Amino acid sequence: MRYDVTIIGGGVVGCAIARELSRYRLNTVLLEKESDVGFGTSKSNSGIIHAGHHSNPDTLKGKLEWEGNPLWDDLHRELGFGFKRIGELTVAFNEQEQAVLEKLHWQGEIKGVPGLVLWDRARIRREEPSLSRSIISALYAPTAGVINPYEACFGLAKCARLNALDMHLESPVQSIRAVDDGWEIQTPRETITTRYVINAAGLYADQIAGMAGAKTFSMKLRKGEEYILDKRLDGLVDHIIFPCPTPVSKGILVIPTFDGTIMVGPTAHEVDDPEDLTTSAAGAEEVFLHVRRLVPGISERDCIAEFAGTRAVSTNGDFVIEPSSQKGFINVAGIQSPGLTAAPAIAIRVVNILRDEGLSLSLKDDFMASIPKAVHMAGLPLDEQIRLSTEDHRYGHIICRCEQISEREILDAVEDGARTLDGLKFRTRAGMGRCQGAFCTPRCMQLLAQALDLPLERITKRGNGSWLVCQREQETQHVNG
Amino acid sequence: MLTAKPVHLRREYDVVVVGAGPAGMAAALGAQESGAEHILIIDREKEAGGILQQCIHMGFGLHHFGEELTGPEYAQRFLREVYDWGIDVLTDTFVADIDGMRQLKLMSGTHGVHLISAKAVVLAMGARERTRGAIRVPGTRPAGILTAGLAQKFVNMMGYLPGKNVVILGSGDIGLIMARRLTLEGVKVHGVYEIMPHANGLTRNIVQCLHDFNIPLHLSSTVIDIKGKDRVEAVTVAPVDEALQPIMKKKQDIECDTLMLSIGLIPENELSRQLKLRLDPLTGGPIVDSAMETSMNGVFACGNVVHIHDLVDFVTEESFLAGRSAGEEATGQRRPGDNVRLMPGENVAYCVPQTISTDREHTLYLRVRKPLDKSTIRFGDVFERKLRYVFPAETVTVKVTPRLLQNFHGGALRIDVTPR
């Protein structure tokens, strides 16, 4: 198959670029090595849309963060992922820290970040009573928000597909070579020729660039651990709580997620292996030590799950979004925080680069900006629940008890492309609650098996070799089993 | 298996029981006995019986029936009685909400979304298993990490194996039962690792499920790392010191494809929290009086919702009482109140019920924190009794009679279990 543009990598950046390109009359394909989009860095981050005052306006990431933030309102309306502008507080425990807040305030005002206000003790006490009494002031930024980043990826990808963009999952790139008028890309499934390549391969961007002889940057990997607390702490804090930042890090945060769980983290430690997604006893200790300083009411005992994610950081610390020395090969690399916030702005920038590089772009007349929204029974008013469950009884049949997810929602997610247990989980929240799937896993597996017409032992957690059950081999002996 | 007859849903019931496990079924029978007329049991599973359905091993009913039954047999006896009395059982139905006026929102695949109300409600939702997140085992997050109860469901209900090469973390009863079950299925069970210096399951399960099958039990040991990208490939185990910290010099890797967790149960109290019931931090369940009534009038609780039981027979006994009380409430029979508040003291992890009366007979369920060979249980300076060995995994039951409390006129009574 011959394409105009091939995007390598289906993270939030690749998906945002895909959706942006699907506005135009082009043949575009996205190649993703995992079984689903968003399953790398994009799934495992803090899920924050930053207000924009934390980063220097002279950097590319500072500029794109500020441009990206307001674009999420339209995307949210069109694609329906979980997103709420709940605002953030960056807190100071002493005068030196307060001076840093004042500098952030000033930096934000210059950039045009709306609504920044310094709160004093009394205001903090009134609006965030769970915060430590030792906090003397806080910088409030109302335009910061929380987002379900995986839902954003699913939404962007679904919209791009709806607008005729090809998406090939479980398609790791094995080789790239220059051919006449473009590139030839090999995956285990196929050979693709393409005029342009967008390298949005995240943790693997340097390897992909290396394959094409187009490595214009170097990068390192930074792992972060995050811990998720029981939903009964919902309401403990109303804003995202940031400690006073240091020159190297935004620090360890308290994040009331869109779905009402509190998430704490991340740590930031360099690793060599992009596959290293281990959590550690030291990481847990570090996270809880830091967040208890901010919110003393948080306890390890409320932890229901943990995960780690790795971000790619370019050695100069900024985003790398530029054409390479090789014609038609564009690097989009080193997209660390605030990459999620910046993603829609990155996509627009990439389209402009493509235009500058000679791709002719003409808008489609029939571009569909919106996608059908998934139904979430648990959040609907009673009369709506009654109406839906009368129309289709499967809406009344609860599969995941902790998050109250119905059978119909599970089947909708399969329809939407979920092929694995994690695919279901990140689309519907089934298995994300306090029992962590101990009750709903068998039912979700059975529904997947039925819908995909597969035997149960072929259902996986997230593709590849992540099998869940196997066949028994022998007849059971007659003993008290 | 008995199947439920179609239920014609009423708008109002005398007693609604949430959960059709052993607790819920006994509670419904108790309510029936005390004269309640319209009784409904609701369960989210397809069939009544609760977790007993997947407990196909023997060992149930020794106290209650004086004979040894399997889980499904034990459940069956109650279910038959429930049907014989014409009590409605609504399965495949989820109680999504409950409010202070005892109005319940039901969701089901056959009835859709419905509201019903009850004069009395019995909470009998059981428990859920603690998961990896609760103890934060470090390492990767591949497929192949699951709780013992889920493994039991895969094997006993669905006919599949959770893996071929299993390490078990935690010595809870379900894990012990599954160690034997999987061994019988030809699965290699490398051993059970328990961080505490004593086992968490019943002695009879240690003997019958581990010793009899040569499965090693490693006390004061734990899993400190999980390896594998897609599927578990190995776990690292290490002994722990007295402060429960792993001794790194002695760590060792075990190749396996599955890590099964049996690290305890947590009472399911989502509905109790919606109702803002007072919960006891020691049990994790609602505080109940001697009639098993919670802090909210007309709302009763029993079984693993209240505290984690080791034997179903005790669940049955306690739940009959809860159901009888709920039936009395629904039919307007007055029950006398309590005048004694029980206070867990030395070596007492918790005590249920939390209050009793000096002029009735009560059965108390309590658990100790540390094992003792010979001990004395002391109720303030009112009375004391000798106990044989006590063990955190086994419930201590004590009968308290008005005669024992004749010199006590109410107030707080502290319970201590001390060496003798």
**List of residues 6+ apart from A441 with CB closer than 8 A:** A421, A431, A468, B146, B150
Write the CA distances from A465 to A268, A468, B77, B144, B362, integer angstroms.
29, 9, 44, 11, 55
Q: From A433, A423, A277, select the one nearest B226 (Cα to Cα).
A: A277
What is the distance between the alpha carbons of residues B273 and B294, in angstroms, rounded to a whole number? 12
Across the interface, whether the CB atoms of A390 and B129 are under 8 A apart is answered no
**What crossing angle do the helices spanning B22-33 and B312-330 adopt, rounded to 10°?**
40
Contact A480 B140 (CB under 8 A): no
A84 in contact with B, Cβ within 8 Å: no
CA atoms within 13 A on the CB side of B209: 28
Q: Fill in the amino acid letter for B151.
A: A
Q: Note whether A281 contacts B: Cβ–Cβ < 8 A.
A: yes
Longest dimension (CA), chain A: 78
Q: Count Cβ atoms below 10 Å from residue B253 Cβ, excluding itself.
A: 12
CA–CA separation, B274 vs A404, rounded Å? 14
Amino acid A343: pLDDT: 98
| Chain B residue at shortest CA distance from A462 | B230
What's the 3-state SS for B135-186? Answer: HCCCECCCECEEEHHHHHHHHHHHCEECCCEEEEECCCHHHHHHHHHHHHCC
Q: Which residues contact A225 (CB under 8 A, 6 or more apart)?
A: A265, A266, A267, A279, A280, A283, A284, A287, A306, A307, A308
Residue B353 contacts residue B289 (beta carbons within 8 Å): yes
Which residue type, as a one-letter code, is found at position A106?
W
Note the pLDDT tens digit of each residue in B136-184: 899 999 999 999 999 999 999 999 999 999 999 999 999 999 999 999 9
Nearest C-alpha of chain A: how many angstroms from B138? 4
Q: What is the structure's pLDDT at B110?
A: 85
Q: How many CB atoms lie within 10 A of CB A472?
A: 16
Instruction: Please say whether the beta carbons of B116 and B11 come within 8 A.
Output: yes
Q: What's the half-sphere exposure (Cβ side, CA atoms, 13 Å) at A143?
A: 21
Query: Across the interface, do A438 and B149 touch by the CB < 8 Å criterion?
Result: yes
ipTM over 0.90: yes
Q: Which two tokens stand for residue A227?
A: 């811990």
Q: Do A396 and B109 touch (CB under 8 A)?
A: yes
Global confidence as pTM: 0.91
Q: Rounded to whole angstroms, how far apart are CA atoms B209 and A90?
A: 55
Q: Which chain B positions have a beta carbon within 8 Å of A408's beta carbon?
A: none
Burial code (b: 16+ CB inside 10 Å, e: under 16) for A372-387 equals eebbbbbeeeeeebbe
Q: B124: closest CA among B384, B299, B334?
A: B299
End-to-end alpha carbon distance in chain B: 50
Rounding to the nearest 10 degrees, give the CA dihedral for residues A174, A177, A181, A182.
40
Distance between CA atoms of A239 and A129, rounded to whole angstroms? Answer: 11
What angle is formed at CA B129 by the lines to CA B18 and CA B223, rounded to 5 degrees?
175
CA A159 to chain centre: 16
* B390: β partners: B372
**Rounded CA gap, A139 and B163, in Å?**
52
Residues of B in contact with A281 (CB under 8 A): 136, 138, 224
Across-strand partners of B362?
B400
Q: Give dist(CA A418, CA A428) in Å, integer.
A: 10
Phi-psi region of A309 (alpha: psi -120 to 50; beta: other; left: phi over 0): beta
CB A287 within 8 A of CB A295: no
- What's the confidence (pLDDT) of residue B7? 81
In DSSP notation, B353-377 reads: SSEE-TTS-EEEEEE-SS-BSSEEE
User: What is the C-alpha to C-alpha distance for residues B44 and B371, in angstroms, rounded to an integer?
Assistant: 38
> Hey, CA dihedral for B330, B332, B333, B336, is it positive or negative?
positive
Residue B271 backbone dihedrals phi, psi, to 5 degrees: -70, -40
Q: Please, where are the H alpha helices in A25-165?
A: 60-79, 95-111, 121-127, 149-162
User: What's the distance, Cα to Cα, between the start and end of chain A in Å?
Assistant: 56
Per run of 10 residues, the mean pLDDT along chain B (length 420 residues) is 71 97 98 97 95 95 93 97 95 94 94 93 96 90 97 97 98 97 97 96 94 98 96 98 96 98 94 94 96 97 97 95 97 90 96 95 95 94 92 92 90 95
- Residue A189 neighbours by CB under 8 Å, 6+ apart: A168, A170, A171
**Residues with Cβ < 8 Å from A118, sequence gap 6 or more?**
A101, A102, A105, A137, A138, A139, A140
pLDDT, tens digit only, all 481 positions of chain A: 799 999 999 999 999 999 999 999 999 999 999 999 999 999 999 999 999 999 888 999 999 999 999 999 999 999 999 999 999 999 999 999 999 999 999 999 999 999 999 999 999 999 999 999 999 999 999 999 999 999 999 999 999 999 999 999 999 999 999 999 899 999 999 999 999 999 999 999 999 999 999 999 999 999 999 999 988 888 899 999 999 998 767 899 999 999 889 999 999 999 999 989 999 999 999 999 999 999 999 998 889 889 999 999 999 999 999 999 999 999 999 999 999 999 999 999 999 999 999 999 999 999 999 999 889 998 899 999 999 999 999 999 999 999 999 999 999 999 989 999 999 999 999 999 888 898 999 999 999 999 999 999 999 999 989 999 999 875 544 544 4
Q: How far, in Å, CA of B392 to CA of B375, rounded?
A: 13
CB A252 within 8 A of CB A266: yes
Taken in order A274, A279, A284, A285, the sign of the CA dihedral is negative
Residue B220: both structure tokens together = 């004061």
- Interface touch A396/B108, C-beta < 8 Å: yes
A&B contacts, CB < 8 Å: 158
Give the C-alpha separation, B300 to B321, whole Å.
10
Among residues 338-377 of chain B, which lie with CB inside 8 Å of chain A? none
Q: Quote the crossing angle between the two packed helices A149-162 and A339-356, to the nearest 10°.
A: 30
Facing residue for A472 by CB, picked from B150, B157, B160? B160
Contact B139/A472, CB-based, under 8 Å?
Answer: no
Catalytic pick among A50, A54, A105, A239: A50
Q: Chain A neighbours among B 175-214 (CB < 8 Å)?
A: 180-181, 184-186, 208
In the DSSP assignment, the letter for residue B286 is: B
- With beta carbons under 8 A apart, name residues in chain B contacting A279: 136, 138-139, 141
Q: How many CB atoms lie within 10 A of CB A172?
A: 15
Say how many CA atoms lie within 13 Å of B304 toward its Cβ: 22
- Which backbone phi and psi does B205 adopt, to 5 degrees? -75, -35
Cβ–Cβ of A460/B143 closer than 8 Å? yes
∠ CA(A100), CA(A101), CA(A103), 5° rounding?
65
Whether residue B319 contacts residue B26, with contact meaning beta carbons closer than 8 Å, is answered with yes
Q: pLDDT at position A474, please?
A: 57
